[in-house]
Structure 1
Amino acid sequence: MSRIKHRRNFLQGAGGAMAASAAVGGTGGRAAEAFLGAAGRTETEAQSVPIAVFAKHLQALPPEELARRLGTLPVAGIEATLRRGGQIEPERLDAELGRLCDLLARYERRIVIAASDVNRATPAAQRYLRTLARHDIRLFRMAYYRYDFNRPIVPQMEAFARQAQELAELAKAEGVAGLYQNHAGRNYVGAALWDLAEVLREVGADDIGVAVDIRHTGVELTQSFQSATRRIDPHRRAVYVKDFRWSANGQPENVPLGQGLARPVFDDLQSLGFRGPLSLHMEYTDHRDPSQVEASWRAICNDVRTLQQWLQSPEASQG
C-alpha cells in the first residue's frame, strides 16, 4: 500500500475532526466533541495505524471518566501508566487491571501500551508480563538503562545487551513484546540511537522493539537524525509523538505539537513507513498538579488534531 493510500485509510473516519478549526473550549468530553464531532466513536473507523494517548497527565481522572473521554477521540486507547506512581501500582495489577480494561472496552478503547518499570527478567517481571498478556495487552514500555560514566562504556553496553536478551526471551514466552524508548539526556542508553542498535543487535524486534521518540531524537540529533533513524529502523515498532523548541537559555522546552522543531523527524519516519502504534505524549502541563487535568485534556485534544493534520499532509522536510 502506498503511503498516500495508507494515510487516506487512517483518516477515513476522521473527516469531522479536520473540518473544524476553532480552538477547543469547555471541559471534559465536550472539549473533544467540539472539534471532533463523531469521528472518534469507534477505533475501526480510523485506525490503520493506532494512536494511543499517554495517560500520565490524565491520572487524576476517575477511570470511568477517562474511558468516557477517550471515547470521544479518534484514538485506539491509551499508553497506560502501570508502574510506580501510575494509574495502577504494580502490586495492584492483578486486582485492578481487569476493571480498567473493561471500562475502556465500553467505549471501544483499549490499553495499547503499558508503561512499566520492567527492564530485566525477574520473577516479578514474569508476573507482570503474564498479567498483561491475560488482558490482551501485547506491548510494554521498558524502564531505561543508564550509563555510569565512572566505568567503561562498552562493557556496560554488553551487560545491557545481555539483560535485553534475557528479557526478550521472557517476553516471547509470555506472548508480549517490549518497547525501549529513546530518551534525551546525558546518561540514557539509547539517547543517540546508535548505541541502542548495538545493545539490541541480537534481539528480535518482535520481542523488544524501539519506540522512536521524535522529540528526544530532535533534541539529541538535530542535524544527523536521518542516519540514526535508518540505523534503528529494523527495530522500530512504535513512534512517540511530542514537540519541543530551544529556550532562551539553550535548554529544550516542551511545546504544543506543531509549534516546535520535531516535525522533520516525524516526516522522516513517516517516509520510512509506520509500524505499530503512534503514542501521543503531551508533556507541557504539570502532571503532578491535579488541578491541571482539564488544561491537560484540552492540550491533548489539540495535539490529536495536529497529529491528524500531520498524517494527512506530510511536509517535504527531509532535505
Structure 2
Amino acid sequence: MNRRDFIGTTLTGTILAKTNFLFAKPAAGMKISVFSKTLHWIEDYQALAETIAEMGFDGIDLTVRPDGHVLPEKVELDLPKAVQAAKKANLEIQMMTTAILQADAISERVLKTANAVGIGHYRMGWYHFEMQKDIMQQVDSFGKQMKGLDALNKKYKISGEYQNHGGQYLGAAVWDLQPIFKSINSPLTGCQYDVNHATAESGANWETGFRIIAPYIKSLAIKDFKYILKDGKLTKVGCPLGEGIVDWKKFLQLVKQYNINVPITMHFEYDLGGAENGLRNIKMDKKDILAAMKRDLALLKTWL
C-alpha cells in the first residue's frame, strides 16, 4: 500500500470510528444512487454503469438535461441505452436530474420516455426569483407551473421533485415550498430535500424547515460543506462527507422519526479536479476521484 492509499484508508477508518456510534439509523433499504454530474468525464454508458457498480452504489441519478449524460432532444434514443447499460451492470436508474420547469413539449418527451424505461423519480430545475419583481407574485406563478407539471407526472406515473437549492431561488428557505405542495396535494409532486443547502440557508433553523416539508419529501440529496474565510468573507465550500458542518446526527434522527424511506442521491462538491463541476476534461487522476467517492459512500452506508 502506498503512502496516499494508507493515509486515505486510515482517515476513512478514523471518521467511521468516530461517527458510526452517534447515529440512530433510519429505515433500512434506502437505495443510494450517485449524481452522474461528477462522472461526466465517462461518456460511454456501459463504462459509466460499470464504474458506478464497482464503487458500490445501487444506482445512477442520471443527468438528463443540457450538457448532461442524456440530452433532452435525444432522450428517446439515448435514455433507453443508459438504462440498458445500468441493467447489465446490475444497477438501476431509479432517478434522473433534469432542467424541467413547465409542462411543455420537451418536458413531456422526457417524462414519457422515462416512464417507458421504468424511471420513477426526477428532479426538476430551479425557479429563480427576480429581485426587482414582487416575490409573492412569483411564488404564485411558480406554483402554477408546478401544478401544470403535476398533471404530466400523473399522466406518466413519475414523481417530480424540487430541490431546496441555495440562493435566490424558490425553495431556498423551504417554507415557501410547503404551501405549494399542500395546494397541489399530489403523491407525485414533492421535494428533493438537501440538508446541505438547508443548513447553509437557514443555519440552526433548518430543522424547523425539515419538519414542515417532511410530509412532501420524495428523495434526499447528500453532501457536506464547511466555511472558509476568503477575502474577508465567509465562503461556503464543499468537503468530504462527515468533515463539514452539516448535523448528520440530527438529520438522520429526523429521517428516522418521520419514517422517510426514499431514494438517496449522493453529490460531490469538493475539489475533484473539475469533476465536481461536471467537467469532461478533468485535472485529477481518475483513480483518486473514484477513491474519494468510495470513501464517502462507505461512510454513508454505516449511517443507514
User: TM-score normalised to the size of structure 1?
Assistant: 0.80
Answer with 291-300 or 172-181: which moved more.
291-300
What corresponds to 1:191 in structure 2?
Answer: 172
- More displaced stretch, 175-184 vs 259-268: 259-268
Q: Does 1:254 align with 2:247?
A: no
Matches within 5 A, 1:211-290: 211-248=192-229, 249-262=233-246, 263-264=248-249, 266-267=251-252, 268-284=254-270, 285=272, 286-287=274-275, 288=279, 289-290=281-282
Query: Secondary structure of 2:29's match?
Result: coil
**How many residue pairs align between the two structures?**
270
Which amino acid in the other structure matches residue 299 of structure 1? A
1:158-197 correspondence to structure 2 within 5 Å: 158-185=140-167, 187-197=168-178
Deviations 1:186-207 (A, max 9, x none): x111001001112322123522
Q: Contact (CA 8 Å) 1:282, 1:299: kept in 2 or not?
A: no
1:23 paired to 2:35? no
Report the AA paired with residue 310 of structure 1: W
Code of the residue aligned with 2:296 in structure 1: it is D
Query: Separation in 2 of the partners of 1:271 and 1:188?
Result: 28
Letter in 2 for 1:191: A
The correspondence of residues 110-149 of structure 1 with structure 2, limited to 5 A, is 110-149=92-131
Q: Is the 8 A contact 1:47 1:75 kept in 2?
A: no
**Matching of residue 306 in structure 1 with residue 289 in structure 2:** no
Kept in 2: contact 1:117–1:142 (CA 8 A): yes
- 1:78 maps to 60
Do the aligned partners of 1:169 and 1:207 also contact (CA within 8 Å) in 2?
A: no
Deviations 1:76-125 (A, max 9, x none): 21110011001111111111111111111012101121111111111211
**Superposition TM-score, scaled by structure 2 size:** 0.84
Structure 1 CA distance for aligned equivalents of residues 62 and 220 of structure 2: 16
Amino acid corresponding to residue 251 of structure 1 in structure 2 = T
Runs of 4 or more above 6 Å deviation: none
Q: Is the 8 A contact 1:78 1:112 kept in 2?
A: yes
Q: Deviations over 1:211-262 (max 9, x none)?
A: 1101101111221111110110111111110000111231111000000011
Q: Distance between the aligned counterparts of 2:55 and 2:38, measured in 1?
A: 16
SS in 2 for 1:194: coil
Superposed CA RMSD in Å reads 2.0
Cross-structure match for 1:93: 75
Q: Which runs of 5+ in 1 are unaligned?
A: 1-20, 26-45, 312-319
Q: Where in structure 2 are there 5+ consecutive unaligned residues?
A: 1-5, 11-26
